[in-house]
Amino acid sequence: FLSENSHFNEICRSCNIDFIGPTPEAMDMLGDKNRAREIARKANVPVVPGSDGLIEDDAEAVRVAHEIGFPVLIKATAGGGGKGMRVAANDLVLKTALQQARTEAEAAFGNAGVYLEKYIERPRHVEVQIIADHFGNVVHLWERDCSVQRRHQKLIEESPAPNLPEEARQSICDAAVRLIKSA
């Protein structure tokens, strides 16, 4: 989608066309999942346990996997739609899955960078819609549950997220605002 393309955003800017959306810089920062995790940590936004940066080699992947515990999820830093993702339950599978994820990520996104996260079985996928302006104002428009998916593609988005405790709802929305303010 062009709305998610920082290069398109830059073209609009260079032609003095107001782009309604994040700056190209914010798109690049938060579009890189590894960088987004780093920004989130600095903004005191909880992240799933995982590697501190991209995985450079098999030995580092094995070390991190043992630190956080199997199973682990290998994720492409430039990924989306489930591409460049693999689950590994042990060292042997990890090494093979790492190569597969890198190859798929390079082919799909032109970036073979991957990182590890602790694998969470059947997680809920809850998103927060944000509106911000160039004056620094940031507000959330509450959360939505996007857990109903097929092949990592959302099928249904439901708002408000059902069965989400009010304290968790507020915490998630506050964290989203902190993240955007720090990006």
pLDDT(161) > 80: yes
Q: Give the span between the Cα atoms of 114 and 71, in whole angstroms.
A: 16
CA 95 to chain centre: 23
> How many Cβ atoms are within 10 Å of 98's Cβ, its own excluded?
23
The answer on 182 and 151 residing in a single domain is: yes
The per-residue pLDDT for range 56-95, each reduced to its tens digit, is 999 999 999 999 999 999 999 997 888 999 999 999 999 9
Does residue 59 sit within a domain?
A: yes
The per-residue pLDDT for range 115-136, each reduced to its tens digit, is 999 999 999 999 999 999 989 9
Does residue 1 sit within a domain?
A: no
Choose the final residue of a domain: 80, 104, 121: 121
Q: Looking at residue 1, what is its pLDDT?
A: 77
Tokens representing 114 are: 């991957």
Does residue 76 sit within a domain?
A: yes
Q: Looking at residue 142, what is its pLDDT?
A: 97
Question: Domain range spanning residue 156?
Answer: 122-183
Helix, strand, or coil here: 6? Answer: helix
Instruction: Please give the model's pTM, rounded to 2 decimal places.
Output: 0.88
Tokens representing 7 are: 């290069």
How many CA within 13 A on the CB side of residue 141?
A: 5
The answer on 139 and 115 residing in a single domain is: no
The answer on 178 and 91 residing in a single domain is: no
